[in-house]
Chains A and B, each alone.
Chain A
Amino acid sequence: MAHHGDHADTHADHDDHDHKPSGFFDRWFCGTNHKDIGTLYLLFSLLMFFIGGSMALVIRAELFQPGLQLVEPDFFNQMTTMHALVMIFGAVMPAFVGLANWMIPMMIGAPDMALPRMNNWSFWIMPFAFTLLLSTLFMDGGGPAGGWTLYPPLSIQGGNNVAFVIFAVHMMGISSIMGAINIIATILNMRAPGLDLLKMPVFVWTWLITAFLLIAVMPVLAGSVTMLLTDKYFGTSFFNAAGGGDPVMFQHIFWFFGHPEVYIMILPAFGVASEIIPTFARKPLFGYQAMVYATASIAFLSFIVWAHHMFTVGMPLGGQIFFMYATMLIAIPTGVKVFNWVATMWRGSMTFETPMLFAIAFVVLFTIGGFSGLMLAIVPADFQYHDTYFVVAHFHYVLVTGAIFSIMAAVYYWLPKWTGRMYNETLGKVHFWLSTITVNMLFFPQHFLGLAGMPRRIPDYNVAFADFNMISSIGGFAFGLSQLLFAWLIIDTCFLKRGAKATSGVWEGAKGLEWTLPSPAPYHSFSTPPKIDDSVLAHGDVSH
């Protein structure tokens, strides 16, 4: 199996020519190369993005008009549940891991990830985990329908799918933990000499902290779903009041994972924005160290705010007050970040290529999501907003125009480095404007719906909500279709290679080690550690 070690001791001097494995199977299934594995992650994520998106369109189609039209309510519930699981664990997280795989070794002057074989395993668990998860849709009784948060007792009253979902989540957890361990080991152990921690690009910093969060909370998720499993199948009473347990206990354990999970999906997005904005503003990042400390503060706070997801479930007043104020505190480091992005652009010589457009839209629209989050943090207000479309609008602003927009920005930004070809800038801009207009049409009216009292996760609604729902659904289909353009742009650039050849710098204002490599980057990024010179770093000379 482990075939001969032809480049077992890949050495500086004979690494200049690519040592790509020759066979298709060897390269894509048994490979150890961070770029190949990064590509696999990104393609997998794109596939899941379209699968999860199709489920969202089922939801929006049903909600186009009041009344029950297209699907059974139970299937509607399966769609809301699966859409979330697929998008969170299948689309957003693997996309960021893919970006980490591609970019971190190049940004820190390393040849590859620290543990390349484990890297391959981390990826290859994912397709199998999602096969297990998606297979539940075809079982008797269908897929999980109790919401992605899997609250008992509802979640364990499902049919056979319960066990499959739980074991699929275990597999995703194993994958995430191994991926995170690899990223930490890479960042701490593989940096080129002279690239001190406080000289690392912010994207690398955000991933270091994200990886720590992953290792801290994915095992807690594993523990919580294990308790669900034993409660359903082995007679334990963790979440059964008759036996002295408490269903609310699940919510506490779940959100101890779930809230840091939210930051796992947004911190790397902060990193992406912090790379792109200085490039197109042609100025060093404003407040580099403040960015790093703000990221760390957000990560710390993410561990002590979990119960703001469950204000209405009942908890002591002291708990509500604590979690309300702790949640509001997050606005401070987040505000520092938004301020720094804006200050970076202030008086810059800005140009608006597609990555910059997405990055600016990210800053504006993510901030809207942040503000609605601040509203939700207020306990008495949350009693009104909880489980309404206001919450749906909030987290979609954070996740779609936040996380997903940053992923798209990152793809446009680094695609020329990956492929050696420029993408079609006109089509890129069309994709941006279509996405930005339609995504607001999709999610902005949901704020109004939620404030007016429309509950989430229900396939029917009061006729009073009809107009906004129709606008939202039209926006949803338009947004979904716009993404086909994104897929086409990727095919066009990666496979048809019709764009102009990219230079090594690609963007006029781009700074950082990855831009010192040719485009496309060589198979093993740096075979000898590069010299670190402050002038090539995106944040200029950081004094510390």
Chain B
Amino acid sequence: MAAQSSGAYYIPHGSAWPILGSVALFFVMGGAASLVNGDHTFGMIKFGVGMALLLIMLFGWFGTVIKESVSGIYNHQVDVSFRMGMVWFIFSEVMFFAAFFGSLFYARMLSVPWLGGEGDGFATNAILHPGYEAVWPTNGPGNVGGAFETIPAWGLPLLNTMILLTSGLTITMAHWALKVGQRTALVWWMAATVALGALFLYFQATEYIHAYHALGLTLGSGVYGSTFFMLTGFHGMHVTLGTIMLLVILFRCMSGHFTKENHFGFEAVAWYWHFVDVVWLGLFVFVYVL
């Protein structure tokens, strides 16, 4: 497990992309803060400039790394560092979702029952929220956001589960094709994966529109709406990002960037895609079914 045994190390040359990325983040974050505070013009300018710089940075930095990788100057040790970087990044993402799953479990198992008078919550219920009964879904004793209905698990969410699981299969097929050197099959399996990702997003958007317009279920529908939209929303953002990443990898496959042995970029995105898939399974079970 220790380091390589040869005497050669690879150290990348300096780069202006990181500092540009910092400036970009500064504008994006500052712009977002101004926007939520209602400072629309100034906020939009900062946010727009920041996003533009961020996109330039991402194109530039990834472009540099791809060029270096394709030219073959990276050694095995660099490859392992990249792999570790991706694994631990995905772990950090898992912990991010854990915070929101944690809030869902806390609300369902603890705060809602307490508001309904369970255990120490007896007096709270009797005095502050008389008549409130702990049920799930709920928008709390204050009926925050008004009446709403939930999305049944066995309709679109089930279909989306099938779509994502299938996409996990297609990307594995693509990986298999890559490993045996079948470029055409690789490209088609990748294209199928991208299409399934996009289809998932389409159905998710449809579901949101339906929730907002027909069911009265919004981000403001008490703690149910909060956990529902924040969990599925952040997941949807990750699927969007993942689909874009898959699309980039599709183009790179078409350009012949990857060899049978050397295709970490492909694998990193595949790992990410499986991660997004697993999070969805958690969502399907805990948000939709139970």
Q: With a CB–CB cut-off of 8 A, which chain B residues contact A131? A: 26
Q: A1-B17, A8-B12 are in contact. Are A245 and B2 (CB under 8 A)?
A: no
CB-defined A-B contacts under 8 Å, sample of 15? A2-B13, A3-B16, A4-B13, A8-B73, A109-B3, A118-B18, A128-B22, A223-B99, A230-B230, A237-B140, A238-B107, A245-B140, A245-B223, A246-B110, A529-B5
Q: Contact check, A3 vs B14: say whether CB atoms are below 8 A apart.
A: yes
Q: Residues of B at under 8 Å CB distance from A?
A: 1-5, 7-23, 25-26, 29-30, 32-34, 36-37, 60-61, 64, 68, 73, 77, 80-82, 84-85, 88-89, 91-93, 95-100, 102-103, 106-107, 110-112, 114-115, 119-120, 138-142, 144-145, 218-220, 222-227, 229-230
Q: With a CB–CB cut-off of 8 A, which chain B residues contact A21? A: 14
Q: Contact check, B29 vs A168: say whether CB atoms are below 8 A apart.
A: yes
Whether A84 is near chain B, meaning CB under 8 Å from some CB there, is no
Q: Contact check, B2 vs A117: say whether CB atoms are below 8 A apart.
A: no
Q: Contact check, A244 vs B224: say whether CB atoms are below 8 A apart.
A: yes
Question: Contact mask A192-233 → B, CB, 8 Å, 1/0?
Answer: 111111000000000000000001111110111011011101
Residue of B nearest to A169 (CB): B29
Residue of A nearest to B3 (CB): A191
Could you say which of A170-178, A365-373, A483-491 contacts chain B? A170-178
Q: Contact check, B81 vs A115: say whether CB atoms are below 8 A apart.
A: yes
Q: With a CB–CB cut-off of 8 A, which chain B residues contact A128? A: 22-23, 25-26
State how many angstroms separate the Cβ of A357 from the closest Cβ of chain B: 36
Q: Contact check, A117 vs B17: say whether CB atoms are below 8 A apart.
A: yes
A236–B17 Cα distance when bound, in Å, is: 36
Q: Contact check, B16 vs A2: say whether CB atoms are below 8 A apart.
A: yes
Whether A241 is near chain B, meaning CB under 8 Å from some CB there, is yes
Q: Residues of A at under 8 Å CB distance from B?
A: 1-12, 15, 21, 26-27, 29-32, 109-112, 114-118, 120-121, 124-125, 127-129, 131-132, 160, 163-164, 166-168, 170-171, 174, 177, 180-182, 184-186, 188-197, 215-220, 222-224, 226-227, 229-231, 233-238, 240-246, 248-249, 252-253, 256, 314, 316, 524, 527-529
Q: Contact check, A8 vs B68: say whether CB atoms are below 8 A apart.
A: yes
Q: Contact check, A244 vs B141: say whether CB atoms are below 8 A apart.
A: yes
Q: Contact check, A132 vs B26: say whether CB atoms are below 8 A apart.
A: yes
Specify which of A12, A231, A244 is in contact with B107 (CB 8 Å cutoff). Answer: A244
Q: Contact check, A12 vs B14: say whether CB atoms are below 8 A apart.
A: no
A227–B223 Cα distance when bound, in Å, is: 11
Q: A12-B8, A21-B14 are in contact. Are A253 and B103 (CB under 8 A)?
A: yes
Q: A170-B29, A185-B85, A229-B36 are in contact. Are A30 and B2 (CB under 8 A)?
A: no
User: 9 closest A-B pairs (Cβ-Cβ)?
Assistant: A223-B99, A242-B142, A244-B140, A121-B18, A244-B223, A246-B111, A235-B220, A236-B226, A243-B144
Q: A1-B15, A236-B226, A249-B103 are in contact. Are A181 and B140 (CB under 8 A)?
A: no
Residue of B nearest to A1 (CB): B16
Q: With a CB–CB cut-off of 8 A, which chain B residues contact A189? A: 3, 77, 80-81, 84
Q: Contact check, A230 vs B107: say whether CB atoms are below 8 A apart.
A: no
Residue of A nearest to B9 (CB): A111
Q: Contact check, B92 vs A120: say whether CB atoms are below 8 A apart.
A: no
A110–B8 Cα distance when bound, in Å, is: 11
State how many angstroms separate the Cβ of A15 from the closest Cβ of chain B: 8
A12–B11 Cα distance when bound, in Å, is: 11
Q: Contact check, A244 vs B36: say whether CB atoms are below 8 A apart.
A: no
Residue of A nearest to B91 (CB): A215
Residue of B nearest to A9 (CB): B73
Q: Contact check, A237 vs B144: say whether CB atoms are below 8 A apart.
A: yes
State how many angstroms separate the Cβ of B262 from the closest Cβ of chain A: 17
